[in-house]
């Protein structure tokens, strides 16, 4: 298996633009997580899905952030409009019930 | 409100010596604890874990200790090797809304000096 796949690996955009991050979980994993890594707060859970259904989005910073999982093999995290303080590394992870989480390589987002 | 804290942002250890990384947590509902290792430009990878019913778990050079009364866990690496240089994240787990949810610390950057 190729593991969790994320795209793009790097994204540089201007303030106010829409940003879409993509994730393909490991086949057969029915939990999908989106995290944000910053120096100050480490890894923060933004939202997670179970069987494509959002279960807990309490970590989503504000309404500018949205996430979808239209099917078992694809999820998006969208920021609209983006702001410089959104600059961070965003990770997607997946797992089976009671299993370990497997992380993707991350997307480094820079908003100027 | 940081429920899982790693108070040392960085640690430098000589090759061959013991590395000790520390982690504190505040929520007594956490029942499972994990350490993840992260290399630059890669995602975190699972390293070792411990259940709250145990106080020690060992896997080769890596040992995790849990002190529930102090709400403290530590990761010991002995002997330390250059390839151990990475960022280490402590994570704590509990069941929320019927699913396991991980809360991570800020990470500790470990550098092993030859």
Torsion of CA A46, A71, A100, B24, to 10 degrees: 10
Looking at residue B94, its pLDDT comes to: 84
Q: Compute the nearest-CA separation of B53 from chain A (Å).
A: 17
Nearest CA in chain B to A102: B45
pLDDT in tens, A9-31: 999 999 999 999 999 999 999 99
- Whether residue A36 contacts residue A89, with contact meaning beta carbons closer than 8 Å, is answered with yes
pLDDT band at A1 (very low <50, low <70, confident <90, very high): low
Instruction: For residue B32, list chain A residues with Cβ-Cβ distance below 8 A.
Output: none
Q: How confident is the model at residue A99 (pLDDT cuts 50, 70, 90)?
A: confident
- Tens place of pLDDT per residue across chain B (114 aa): 679 999 999 999 999 999 999 999 999 989 999 999 999 989 999 999 999 999 999 999 999 999 999 999 999 999 999 999 999 999 999 876 667 788 999 999 999 999
> Cβ contact (<8 Å) for B41 and A105?
yes
What is the reported pLDDT for A42?
A: 86
Q: What is the pLDDT of residue B1?
A: 65
pLDDT classification of A96: cutoffs 50, 70, 90? confident
Mutate to test the interface with B, among A42, A56, A97 (most CBs of B within 10 A): A42
Select from B42, B89, B100 the Cβ nearest to the Cβ of A42.
B89
Half-sphere CA count of A101, side-chain side, radius 13 A: 29
Helix spans in chain B (H): none
Number of Cβ within a 10 Å radius of residue B69: 5
How far B43 CA sits from the closest chain A CA (Å)? 4
Per-residue model confidence as pLDDT tens digits over A38-84: 888 889 999 999 999 999 898 998 899 999 999 999 999 999 999 99
Q: Which of A93, A101, A102, A104 to mutate to test the interface with B (most CBs of B within 10 A)?
A: A101
What pLDDT shows up at residue B16? 97
């Amino acid at each position: 298996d190729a593991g969790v796949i994320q795209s793009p690996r790097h994204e540089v955009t201007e303030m106010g633009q829409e940003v879409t991050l993509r994730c393909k979980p490991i086949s057969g994993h029915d939990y999908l997580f989106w995290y944000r890594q910053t120096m100050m707060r480490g890894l923060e859970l933004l939202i997670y899905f179970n069987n494509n259904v959002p279960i807990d989005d309490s970590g989503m910073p504000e309404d500018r952030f949205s996430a979808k999982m239209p099917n078992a093999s694809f999820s998006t995290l969208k920021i609209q409009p983006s702001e410089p303080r959104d600059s961070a590394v965003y990770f997607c992870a997946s797992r089976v019930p009671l299993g370990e989480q497997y992380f993707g390589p991350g997307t480094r987002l820079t908003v100027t | 409100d940081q429920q899982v804290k790693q108070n040392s942002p960085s640690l430098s250890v000589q090759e061959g010596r013991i590395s000790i990384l520390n982690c504190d947590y505040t929520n007594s509902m956490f029942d499972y604890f994990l350490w993840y290792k992260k290399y630059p430009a890669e995602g975190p990878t699972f390293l070792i874990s411990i259940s709250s019913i145990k106080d020690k778990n060992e896997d080769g050079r890596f040992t995790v200790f849990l002190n529930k009364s102090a709400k403290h866990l530590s990761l010991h690496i002995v002997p330390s090797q250059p390839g151990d240089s990475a960022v280490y994240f402590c994570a704590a787990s509990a069941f929320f809304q019927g699913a396991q949810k991980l809360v991570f610390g800020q990470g500790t950057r470990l550098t092993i000096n030859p």
